Amino acid sequence: MGILEEISEFLQKGKANEVKALVQKAIDEGMDAKTILEEGLMAGMNVVGIKFKNNQVYVPEVLIAARAMNAGIALLRPLLVKEGVKAKGKVILGTVKGDLHDIGKNLVKMMMEGKGLEVIDLGTDVPADKFIAMAKEHNANIIACSALLTTTMTEMKNVVEKAKESGIRDKVVIMIGGAPVTDNYCKSIGADIYRPDAATAAEAALEVCGK
Amino acid sequence: METQRGITIHATQDGKEHFGEYGNSFSLLDYLSKHTPFTLQAPCGGKGRCGKCKIRIIGGTPSPVTDTERTLLHPDELSAGIRLACMVNPETDLSISLEGEKKVQGNKSFRFSHPLPVDGSLHTLVLELVPPSLEDQRSDHSRLLSALATEGLEVPTPLLLDLPQVLREGKWRVTLIAQKNRVLSILPSTLVEGQSSNPASRIFGVAVDIGTTTVAAYLFDLYTGVHIDSQSELNAQGAFGGDVISRIQYALESLSNLRRLQEKILTQIDELIHRMAIRTGIHPAQICMACIVGNPTMIHLTLGLNPKYIAEAPFIPVTTEPLFVPTHELGLSLSAGGIVRIPPAVSAYVGSDILAGVIASGMATSTMRSALLIDIGTNGEIVLGIGDRFIACSTAAGPAFEGAQITCGMGGVAGAIDGVIRRNLPVLAEGLQGPDSTPCPTHPLSFTTILDAPPVGFCGAGIVDLLAILLETGMVDETGRMLSQEEGKRQGHPLAEWLITYDDEPAFLLVPADKSGTGMPILLTQQDVREIQLAKAAIAAGIRTLLQKANLTFDEIRTLYLAGGFGNYLNPRSAIRIGLIPKELEGKIQSIGNASGLGASLALLSEKTFSLFQQVRERTSYIELSSSPEFQELYVEEMMFPS
């Protein structure tokens, strides 16, 4: 097994220390950071994402795998900057105002990062204005909103409205997700993309940024 | 009639029939919940997500089957005419039947065998009035007041409604029931005296526990504290969502929706009271007090208060204060002068029902060592008592343990599987373990159902039992992954024979279609296991967070009180096996049944207990888990099953 496959394997098992050591070893062997990231870390996270989508692994395993991924990325980050490797796209992510649910949003973040996207995480209880301001500031490709309550998901509509008002609606794709959200709801409020789970959300986001 | 051209709906449930005009309802669920007395549970509130509002089309043409229904219903169900009420509109007159699952089992915990303590704050007064005549034309009211002149009692206006009849029926001899200086009821003396030699022993009160899922009412003799009767049913608001958030969501859509939810619950309470009165031969005017507990959302909806800010951070209810509401304001048909006591709540998600549990468990008064109280319902509320202080939290466990979001899940009603055990098979027949064999005819697991009715689904306790066995036998691993059919075959365990593929997912079959009460198989799917992982992790992490905050170890906990219907049926061993309750608490678990109902009854009968609610509330601090980093971390950790 090559070192990249090994990184991927250990990442899937959530072994942060092993991933870190192997990434360091790969760097020392002169492999470029981009390759390590894409064919080692992201490849592993991709497998986790597929298994998660198919219900074979669950939230804890994804979180543990993500911890391992982050341990590897921390080592790669300065090298990626030096190599001039840019993120494949920028996503402004947060749970909407009035809603404090964190975990689903964090899963989305991890999966998106696993696809090589830069995620600016605004946390929970995020007002619509903040999504817009941050999207402008970072010139983001995507605004992704999460809500876990039927009472707070109406706030997503505000985000869409505010994006229109501020004139950035045609520059940014609005993605929504969370337990009570449906595709119909997405259409009804004029958002762009709904995905039922974190893994497919990350796939969709990558597709958007690739265009 | 002009309306003859409209579409007519003929619906039946439990042998009762209803005919009505469909009008401009936007779905059958909408129609049934607004225009019929039938109860249909729709945990997701009619959004086409949960697949629980099943009805059967008997005749007529419904709208075509939607994609949503194809996803949520099994092909066998669709071909048997089962549809989701929230997705169907009639195209012609329609005849449909609703599954009857309204009744909750009359379970043992609903009986209090000993009289509860009363504080004697009620007093009775027998008045002999001078009959009117042409010479004495004073009004009934004046006549009563002048007879009362020396007593200093206030007669609430609504009592005038029945006054003429009461005075004449009693032949101008009436019995007044008063508390402090307020008259609660006026009864013809003939009525009370006819029933008992001691009129004072014929005054009644009702304690009501409004759960999001179940409503229970208890009738008491207010003088002796003797429990007379009880009734319980699934909450009639069930068609508007299974959890508080979807009810709030519905209530917020319009003022008439809020009114409708209020009317549903008040009508239901009134019916429960009526039914008990009829069964026990009591006149409603003899029932002069009620005490209602419930989570803050239920109390808000009962009082018609706006629940909006309960549902969004920072979660602020309109009121958590103790209230005394005249019965006539709520339209309850008790004595017109009666009073409804509403004990206080702690916060938006820890209500009077939980304080009632703290009081009923004895935690409020015995403060020697630390104890925990857990009420697992649609939310999982947890209270930790340390000395005379309390710390409380509420975990969004979701209604999984109430059977919602579970493929074959249901509430604790007749036919629900409430216990699963491994059958003692003397010798396993060898030939049945081969990879190509058909499932052995005898299932290695046996089960019990509520009221011994034919099995129709799982209630929470049954799910926990089954999952514990699946974990123990390796059918589900500690990460929650269920073996696939192929993996099961290779593994060769007798239980593995019952692993199947259902909707492209692994599932464990407990009851084959031909043995179930619905004609549909009863099974637990991979996704169901995931739902349980979320729910049990929330409870377990809540317990650990409270202990961390209080700097306590499990050793210091003397008792874990399990309250609520689910707690009552739950097998503690299974609960520990799946990690719902931390293993460290093994041997300390005590089920106390419907503690909220008992607490409400105690507060009904005694003002002192009622004021104890206020004291406990003042000694309780609330911890908001959704913003606690400790909780978030523990929550994820607890999603795994103990190995």
* Domain assignment of residue B107, yes or no: no
CATH number for the domain spanning B611: value is 3.30.420.40
Look at residue B570 and tell me if it is in a domain. Answer: yes
Last residue of a domain, one of B508, B531, B554: B531
Instruction: Calculate how close chain A gets to B637, using CA atoms only, in Å.
Output: 7
State the Cα–Cα distance between residues A8 and A15, nearest whole angstrom. 10
A99 contacts B47? CB cut-off 8 A: no
Q: CA B184, CA B335: separation in Å to the nearest integer?
A: 7
Angle at the Cα of B520 (from B518 to B525), degrees rounded to 5? 125
Structure ipTM: 0.76
Residue type, A32: D
**CB B459, CB B510: distance < 8 Å:** no
What are the DSSP E strand ranges found in B94-243?
A: 94-98, 122-128, 173-179, 182-188, 204-210, 214-221, 227-234
Interface test with A, best of B258, B310, B312 (most A CBs within 10 A): B312
Sort out which chain B residues have CB atoms less than 8 A from A180's CB and list them. 47, 49
Interchain pair A58, B480: CB under 8 A = yes
Size of interface A-B (CB pairs under 8 A): 64
* CATH class of domain segment(s) A3-83: mainly alpha
Q: What are phi and psi for residue B268, nearest 5 degrees?
A: -65, -45
- Angstroms from A31 CA to nearest CA on chain B: 35
Give me the residue label for tokens 């490849």. A43
Cα angle: B447, vertex B453, B455; to 5 degrees: 50
Q: Which domain holds residue B538?
A: 362-398+534-638
How far is residue A11's CA from residue B6's CA, in Å, rounded to a whole number?
63
DSSP string, B328-367: HHHT--S-TT-EEEE---SBTTB-HHHHHHHHHHTTTT--
Residue A64 near residue A14, CB atoms below 8 Å: yes
Q: Residue B111: inside a domain, yes or no? A: no
Per-residue pLDDT at B105: 52
Q: Is residue B105 part of a domain?
A: no
User: At what angle are helices A42-53 and A59-83 packed, to 10 degrees?
Assistant: 150
By C-alpha distance, which of B311, B307, B202 is closest to B259? B307
Judged by a CB distance cut-off of 8 A, whether residue B637 touches chain A is yes
Domains of chain B: total: 5
The model's pLDDT over B446-472, given as tens digits with 9 standing for 90+, comes to 999 988 999 999 999 999 999 999 999
| Percent of chain B predicted with pLDDT > 70 | 93
**B303 and B315 part of one domain:** yes
- When scoring A151, A182, A188, A197 by the number of chain B Cβ atoms within 10 A, the one with the most, hence best to mutate, is A151
B312 to chain A: closest CA residue: A98
| Nearest CA distance, A63 vs chain B (angstrom) | 8
* Contact flag A150-B626 (C-beta cutoff 8 Å): no
Interface test with A, best of B68, B246, B249, B529 (most A CBs within 10 A): B249
Q: Is residue B515 part of a domain?
A: yes
A-contacting residues of B 336-355, CB under 8 Å?
none
CATH class of A90-210: alpha beta
Statement: residue B414 has pLDDT above 90: no
Query: Do both B503 and B412 map to the same domain?
Result: yes
Q: Are residues B333 and B452 in the same domain?
A: no
**Percent of chain A residues topping a pLDDT of 70:** 100
Strand order, beta sheet including B204-210 = B227-234, B214-221, B204-210, B287-294, B339-342, B323-326
Instruction: Tell me the shortest Cα–Cα distance from A150 to chain B, in angstroms.
Output: 6
Quick check: A150 and B640 CB within 8 A?
Answer: no
Contact by Cβ (8 Å): B406, B458: yes
Is there a domain that residue B446 lies in?
yes
Cα gap A56→A54, rounded to integer Å: 5
The residue of A53, A149, A186 whose CB has the most chain B CBs within 10 angstroms, and thus the best one to mutate to test that interface, is A149
Mean pLDDT, range B346-369, rounded to an integer: 92
Residue B195's pLDDT band (boundaries 50, 70, 90)?
low
Q: Where are the domains of chain A?
A: 3-83, 90-210
Q: Which of B144, B166, B201 is the last residue of a domain?
A: B201
The per-residue pLDDT for range B622-643, each reduced to its tens digit, is 999 988 889 988 998 899 899 8
Is residue B18 within 8 Å of residue B10, measured between CB atoms?
yes
B568 versus B557: which is more confidently predicted? Answer: B557
Taking CA–CA distances from B316, the nearest residue in chain A reads A98
Q: And the tokens for A18?
A: 């092993």
Residue B524 lies in a domain: yes
User: Does the beta carbon of A78 lie under 8 angstroms from any beta carbon of chain B?
Assistant: no
Cβ pair B122, B91 in contact under 8 A: no
Q: Which residues of B touch A182 (CB under 8 A)?
A: 47-49
- Is residue B169 domain-shared with residue B292, that is, in the same domain? no
pLDDT tens figures, B27-84:
998 888 888 877 788 877 787 877 888 889 988 999 999 988 888 888 888 888 899 9
Q: Which residue of A has its CA nearest to B526?
A: A55
Residues of A in contact with B480 (CB under 8 A): 58
- Model confidence over A59-114: pLDDT tens digits? 888 988 998 999 999 999 899 988 888 889 999 999 999 998 888 899 999 999 99
What's the mean pLDDT in B592-607? 94
Distance set, CA A38 to CA A20, A113, A114, A208 (Å): 15, 11, 9, 19
CATH number, domain of B162, equals 3.10.20.880
Asked if residue B443 and residue B327 are part of one domain, the reply reads: no
How high is the pLDDT of residue B629? Answer: 87
Q: Is A74 on the interface with B (CB under 8 A)?
A: no
Chain A residues with CB-CB distance to B640 below 8 A: 60
Tokens in use for B47?
A: 């959004």
Contact assessment for residue B459 and residue B569, using Cβ atoms and an 8 Å cutoff: yes
pLDDT value at residue B98:
85
| CATH number where B80 lies | 3.10.20.30
A124: nearest CA partner in chain B: B627
Using CA atoms in the order A57, A62, A65, A67, what is the torsion angle rounded to 10 degrees? Answer: -160
Tens digits of residue pLDDT in B245-290:
889 999 999 999 999 999 999 999 999 999 999 998 888 889 999 9
* Residue that terminates a domain, selected from B177, B201, B225: B201
Judgement on whether residues B211 and B190 belong to the same structural domain of the protein: no
Please name the residue of chain B whose CA is at the shortest distance from the CA of residue A53. B527
Q: Which of B507, B501, B524 is nearest to B447 (CA)?
A: B524
Q: What is the pLDDT of residue B277?
A: 92
Domain identity same for B310 and B226 = yes
**B355 in any annotated domain:** no
Nearest to A63 among B308, B627, B636 (CB): B636
Return the residue of A nearest to B307 by Cα: A151
